[in-house]
Amino acid sequence: MIQESQESPQLDAHGNLKHFLTIEGLSRELLIEILEKAEGFVSVAQQAVKKVPLCRGKVIANLFFENSTRTRTTFELAAKRLSADVLNLNISTSATAKGETLLDTLRNLEAMHVDMFVVRHASSGTTHFMARHAHPHSSIVNAGDGGHSHPTQAMLDMFTIRRHKGDFSRLSVAIVGDIMHSRVARSQMLALKTLGVPDVRVIAPRTLLPTHVEEAFGVSAHHDLREGIRDADVVIMLRIQRERMNSALLPSEHEYFHLFGLTEKRLATAKPDVTVMHPGPINRGVEMDSQVADGERSVILEQVSNGIAVRMAVMSMCIGTQNSRAQAAGEDHV
């Protein structure tokens, strides 16, 4: 039996998913369960009525303290396809903009009987803080917290890889870009290693690679793109934020593309059937050129579609745990 702790509050006492905050500490079996459930939700998009009743009567609030398009939209669609009622809080006009604390916001929304909070915040650890203070029957899902974690993005990437490549245990996966500041890269490395990928590589300029990344995550580090992606089965490109240029971590967009931008010529060193991925949004001409982004080996738009199914899986699992807890509480009072 897995006991819940203050340090890792994601699971209930029976090992079921209560919150989804980070990949770290989760078992391979639980990650596979998420992928299997997501597989079952893919077909919902092809139905005449794109809904299943798993979260009917539940209220899910999207609290996005950072700008987002893909993540917020796919979470909203996922919740609606589960038949939940969705509340989108406009942070710019909410009480938090007037000085209300995050904890007060949580308490007020819980008083409105919100069952789940999908949270994106610029500060690392925000979702862990909320999970520790949430009502026992509420769930917190991390939609990205600072530079720490973006677990649903990692899982939709794992889902996409699994659909194209199958067995994780035989793969070579390269992650290219700003490894140091990327919550996506951190979550991807954890997920890939947990799922048994033997060869995970990170490729970046020295200024964008954290120290001791090899020891911390069990990956290999490279500073040459062609060599780093040689014979890779999957290449995941990361978005380069323009503030890195302004902070002198990179000389210029042109220089970055010259050394680390993915082109068809550079991609030739990877395996012929390589799968090319990107969490979006793409900076064309910086991380990759349009020929690669729109090419036959790119699955970038498929990642967006898969995000809905994976987020449906995560939310339905957390809601299922809520229902089990409520049922157990009711039986205790019989």
Give me the residue spans of the domains in the chain.
28-150+305-332, 151-303
* Architecture of the domain spanning 28-150+305-332: 3-Layer(aba) Sandwich (3.40)
Pairwise pLDDT comparison (89 vs 279), residue with the higher score: 279
Per-residue pLDDT for 214 more than 70? yes
Cis before 281? omega within 30? yes
d(CA 116, CA 82): 13
Q: Tell me which DSSP letter residue 95 carries.
A: G
Strand spans (E) along the chain = 59-64, 85-89, 116-121, 139-145, 172-176, 199-203, 220-222, 234-237, 275-277
Pairwise pLDDT comparison (14 vs 202), residue with the higher score: 202
Tokens of 166: 């199958």
Per-residue pLDDT for 99 more than 90? no
Q: What was the pLDDT predicted at 25?
A: 95
| Residues forming a β-bridge with 140 | 117
Q: What was the pLDDT predicted at 2?
A: 31
3-state secondary structure 201-216: EEECCHHHCCCCHHHH
From residue 116, alpha-carbon distances to 13, 76, 85, 238, 318 in Å are 19, 12, 11, 29, 9
Percent of the residues in the chain that have a pLDDT greater than 70, as a whole number:
90
Residue ranges of the binding site? 70-71, 98, 120, 150, 153, 183, 239, 280-281
In this structure, of 92-106, 112-126, 141-155, the range with the lowest mean pLDDT score is 92-106
Give the mean pLDDT of the chain. Answer: 91
Residue ranges of the binding site for carbamoyl phosphate? 70-71, 120, 150, 153, 280-281
Q: Across residues 150-165, what is the average pLDDT?
A: 98
CATH fold for the domain made of 151-303: Rossmann fold (3.40.50)
Per-residue pLDDT for 94 more than 70? no
pLDDT band at 4 (very low <50, low <70, confident <90, very high): very low
Residue ranges of the binding site for L-aspartate? 98, 183, 239
pLDDT, one tens digit per residue, over 236-289 is 999 987 665 556 577 788 899 999 999 999 999 999 999 999 999 999 999 999
In this structure, of 78-87, 173-182, 323-332, the range with the lowest mean pLDDT score is 323-332
Indicate if 151-303 has the same CATH topology as 28-150+305-332: yes
Q: What was the pLDDT predicted at 321?
A: 82
Pairwise pLDDT comparison (334 vs 140), residue with the higher score: 140
Do residues 23 and 151 touch, judged by C-beta distance below 8 A? yes
Q: What was the pLDDT predicted at 322?
A: 79
From residue 96, alpha-carbon distances to 59, 64, 89 in Å are 20, 12, 10
Using DSSP, how many helices (H) and how many strands (E) does the chain show?
A: 13, 9
Tokens of 174: 């390269």
